[in-house]
Structure 1
Amino acid sequence: MTSSASSDFGPLVLGGNVFGWTADESASFAVLDAFVEAGGRAIDTADAYSMWVDGHTGGESERIIGAWLSARPGMRERVSIATKVFAKPDRPGLAPANVRAALNESLERLQTDYVDLYYAHRDDPEVPQDDVVMTFGELVAEGLVSRIGASNFSADRLHSAVDVAKAHGVEPFTVSQDGYSLVHRDIESGLVPTLKRLDIIELPYGALQGGFLTGKYRQGATVDSPRAGKASQLLETPRNVELLDALQGVAEGRDVSMAAVALAWLRQQPRVAAPIASARSVEQLASLVESFDLVLSEDELARLA
């Protein structure tokens, strides 16, 4: 997607889900430093990251990012920070008081007084949509948040949320974050047309399908990763095996990684401003950085269709 919106985020948004999970603080700092040095400027996290790890309660990723920002004077002005509310065990849902409390706690962990992008991590049908929309709009008006987004909303619910915002004269959701990759393309038929009508950009997560699109989970390969099981299951579908072959062919023709091609493909899809991908080491980040300037030809896009 070529627009001023895409330039706001750069060619790639760095996912912070691994910070405090598969990347400790030292490794996370190294990845963040290398990302910015390579020209990256947008970082994505959530208050719930990484609650799935034994002994964690959520907020671990935000704390690491906050410590990094604190240790790098002037860095806050150079990067865009996005976080989310809904799924943290002690801050569940989108009730107005909870959203405000969750944001205040996120700001404290991130060691900043505003976030550039604040998402509703999930839709919350238990809370009147007017209340949700008004609360998020007020956060923008108060300067605590620069823009707001919706993650994992249905097309109908996203459309109604924007309608409510317009009716009340408050800031609407202008960003959507959803699962989208060469393997997982469900949003193309339902959500993307709605994004176009509403002039909402997409920042997709799952861009590498848990590492599957890097090619490291080929048949017979043994990979030390907590995501290995799910990624390996994708090999049971013949179409996915064919896709890996096509991806490898394009990558070899360009002398870049398969990950770089998968990310470049996603960035060239309608409404996508930038894909989100994470790296637990500087070595992993290198293949993501390869995608920054990569533009696929029409023939290459067709081979991956």
Structure 2
Amino acid sequence: MEYTHLGRTGLTVSRLCLGTMNFGPHTEEADAHRLMDTAHERGLNFFDTANSYGRDSDGNFQGRTEEIIGRWFAQGGGRRERTVLATKAYANASDWPNDGKLSALAIRRAVEASLRRLQTDHIDLYQMHHIDRATPWEEIWQAMEVLVAQGKIIYVGSSNFAGWHIAQAQDAARSRHFLGLVSEQSLYNLLDRTVELEVIPALQHYGLGLIPWSPLRGGLLGGVLRKEREGTRGRSGQGHTAALLAKHRDRIQAYEDFADELGTDPADLALAWLLSRPAVTAPIIGPRTAAHLDTAIAALDLRLDQKTLDRLDELFPGHQPAPEDYAW
């Protein structure tokens, strides 16, 4: 396993982050526990979750995924101590006022509930799942400072922020002599490269680590057309993902053909490309089995030369930093 620091911090994390969003809805608890044990055996120490993961079939908030992780921690054996635990807050736990978003009261309630479900006394990386435009940064940072002082959280991160939100947050934190954000979790993959315009330049400027989510774009970059021919295509054949495949089918076929030329798996190629990108700390992977986990780990050994990177840019054009991308 390879390790790196999370942004400008001294915190050491694995270069792949275990995503847990499937725990509960698609991965049974016993299987999730085995998968987390296997992740530790393979050297992954960075796990990501959220208080909103594990909703029931009607979409009701349950926090089930955090509970599954909490019962795994409760088994002992150094499971909690060996894990850099990241979770998130923002989603509404109910339709009652102050039961969601990022007011100081909502943050306090959310962190206490997550700590109970996770059966731990602290969260290593506490992330804001979305920007809250109604709450001033002074209030948010005051709430986070209290949690740090109480030892309930150690670092603060963002998720799905725009570049100017990151700048706002860091400016407000600096005025309070507070560390501020240390990471941003964004949608980033070969098909979705919008963050290259302003988010990644902001991360580089402020020293934040980038934790890309959906690195395989719901399976579209994981050999979906080959699986379609083999009859093994899974959830990538449903809903929005199916519409994306119809739109980009020729491009994805060319991508899979290129992976074949290189003698590598399309999923490995997509992860290796992300690992080569500026500011990227650890893509979030969502394996359902130990075999899927081992496949993702194999991407760490794949080094892409400039010719390969150029070809990927031809297949999936990216962005220059703004404003050069759209102006002189």
The two structures have a TM-score, normalised by structure 2, of 0.85
- Between the aligned partners of 1:209 and 1:226, the Cα distance in structure 2 is 9
Task: Return the offset for 1:249.
Answer: 2.5
Give the Cα–Cα distance (whole angstroms) in 2 for the partners of residues 32 and 2 of structure 1. 18
Q: 1:79 to 1:292 in 2, by over 3 A?
A: farther
Please point out which of 194, 205, 209 is paired with 2:213. Answer: 205
Q: Tell me how large the CA RMSD over aligned residues is.
A: 2.3
**Partner residue in 1 for 2:254:** 245
SS state at 1:51 partner:
coil
For residues 161-176 of structure 1, what are the structure 2 equivalents within 5 Å? 161-176=169-184
- Which runs of at least 4 in structure 1 moved beyond 6 Å after TM superposition? none
Contact 1:211 / 1:227 at 8 angstroms: preserved in 2? no
Q: Deviations over 1:224-243 (max 9, x none)?
A: 327633222222234x5324
Aligned mates of 2:227, 2:298 — CA distance in 1: 25
Q: How far off is 1:27 after superposition?
A: 1.3
Instruction: Confirm or deny that 1:4 pairs with 2:12.
Output: no
Q: Pick the aligned partner of 2:88 from 84, 91, 96.
A: 84
Q: Give the alignment of 1:93-108 within 5 angstroms.
A: 93-108=101-116
Whole-angstrom distance in 2 between the partners of 1:106 and 1:285: 26
1:280 Cα deviation after fit: 2.0
Structure 1 residues 181-200: aligned runs within 5 Å: 181-200=189-208
In the TM superposition, what is the alpha-carbon distance from 1:5 to its structure 2 partner? 2.9
**Post-superposition offset of 1:292:** 2.9
Contact 2:236 2:242 in 1 (8 A): no
Aligned residues: 303
1:289 aligns with 2:293: no
Distance 1:226 1:88, change over 3 A: farther
Q: Tell me, what secondary structure is at the counterpart of 1:176? A: strand
In the TM superposition, 1:259-298 aligns within 5 A as 259-298=267-306
Between the two structures, name the one with larger relative contact order (CA 8 Å, sep ≥ 6): 1
Distance in 2, matches of 1:76 and 1:254, equals 38
Specify which of 19, 27, 39 is matched with residue 35 of structure 1. Answer: 39
1:218, 1:235 within 8 Å by CA — same for their partners in 2? no
Unaligned regions of 5+ residues in structure 1, if any? none
Q: Cα gap change, 1:227/1:164 in structure 2, threshold over 3 Å: closer, same or farther?
A: farther
- With normalisation by structure 1, the TM-score equals 0.91
> What's the CA shift for 1:97?
1.2
* Structure 1 residues 50-199: aligned runs within 5 Å: 50-51=54-55, 53-54=57-58, 56-90=60-94, 91-199=99-207
**Fraction of identical pairs, as percent:** 31
Structure 2 vs 1, CA of residues 258 and 286 (structure 1 numbering), >3 Å: closer, same or farther? same
Describe the shift of the 1:174–1:128 C-alpha distance in structure 2 as closer, same or farther (beyond 3 A). same
Aligned twin of 1:24: 28
Q: 2:127 is aligned with what amino acid? A: Y
